[in-house]
Amino acid sequence: MVNEPRRRKKGEKEGSEDAPADRSVSPPSSSSRGAGSFKITAQNLSELHQSRDVKQLVKLGGIEGLANGVKSDVHNGIAAEESGNHFQERKGHYGINLVPPPPPVTLFELVWEGLQDKTLIMLCIAAIVSLILGIRENPTSGWIEGTAILIAVLVVVMVSSLNDYQKERQFRALNDKKNNKLVKVVRGGEQQQVSVYSILVGDVIVIETGDIICADGILIDSDSMKCDESAMTGESDLIKKNPRDAPFLLSGCQVTEGIGRMLVVCVGPNSETGRAMALLQTPPEDTPLQKKLEVLADNIARVGLIASATILVLLVLKFFGNLYLTGTPFEFHMVSQLVKFFITAVTIVVVAVPEGLPLAVTISLAYSTIRMLEDMNLVRHLESCETMGGATNICSDKTGTLTKNQMTVVKGW
C-alpha cells in the first residue's frame, strides 16, 4: 500500500494527492524521501548532462520543468524553508559538491612503503647476519657493525617518510584553501555568497567573466557567454553558450566572456570534474631513479652471491683437499673452521651492498626540495625532483604556455 501511490505518480503523473500520505508513512531514509519529494533522480540528471541532448531537456519541460523536478525555481532558487534542516533532504538525494579525496597516507604506511626497497631489504638481512655472527665471535664489540647498518637504514626510511608525510599535509591544506572559493547563488529569492562546497543541486548560480564553474549546470539566461572547455574536452576554441542551443555548462571550465545564470544539476562525484578525478586516482608508478636503483640492487646481490658462493666452495674444497692429502681424519672441532669460511662468504655479501647509497640519494633529493622551496616551489614527493631533473623534452601545444614571468624590451624607437 505504501509503494502503490508512488508507482501511480511516476507512470500516470496523478500522484500529487497521494504524495503527502506516502511521505508520512515512508521510513526516514534518504532514498525514500528523495523518491517522494523529488521528481528527477541524480542518475537522470547525470545522464541528461552527459548526453548534452537539448531535445531531452525540452521533453522534461525545459529549464523551468527541470527546476520544478528538483524542487527549485529559476528566479528564486531553492526555497528558504529548506535551510531550516540545513538542506539534509536535498543532500541525501543528490549529494554534496565535494569529491571524496583519497584517504591520507599515514606515517606508518610511508615507513612500510620505504622498507619495500630491495636495497634496504638486502641491508637489513646483511645487518641481522652481521649481528648474529659478530656477537658469536666477539660479544663485546661484534654488534657494532650490524647496529650501524640498521641505524643507516632507519635514517634513510625516516628522512624520506617524514618529508613525504609533511609535504602531504601541506598540500592538503593548500588545496583546501585554494578550492574553497565563494560563489554567488540565489536562494529564497535573495542573492548571497556561499562556499563552493555548499553548492547543491537546484541552486541558481550567478556567473560572471573569469569564474570557474564549480558544478555541472544548465543555463537559465546569458549575455554573450563563452567558455573555455579545454580542461575537460581538449577543445582549444572558446565555446559559445546560450540557453537555447548550447545550455550545458561543465564544471572545472572557465567563463571567458559574458555573464549569466545557471541551474545546478550535478555536484561532487556526479559532475564532470568528479568523474575525471575518479579516473585519475591510479596507483603511482616507480620513478626512473627507483627503477635504476632496483636494477643496481639486483645486480649487486647477484654478483655478491656468486662471488661469496664461489669463495665458500673454493675454501671448503681447499680445506677437505688438505685433509685428504695429509691423511688427517675429519673431527668435530674442525666445524669452527667451516663456520669461519661461511663468515668470510657472508662478509663479502655485506661489503658488496652499498649501505650509504640509499642515504646519499635520499639526502640529495631532500636538499633539492629545500632549494626548490626557496624558489616558491613546494614539492610534494621527493622522487618528483629526480623525475623533473630527468626530463629531456617538454611538449606544449600553445605558444606562451611556459614563460619566465619576465618582460624584456626587444625593440625601441
> Considering 223, 237, 375, 397, which one is annotated as catalytic?
397
C-alpha cell at position 106: 599515514
User: How distant is the alpha carbon of residue 32 from its chain centre?
Assistant: 34
- Within 10 A of 250 (CB to CB), how many other CB atoms are there? 22
Helix axes 288-326, 118-137, angle to 10 degrees: 30
Tell me, yes or no, if 397 is annotated catalytic.
Answer: yes
Tell me which residues are annotated as active site. Answer: 397
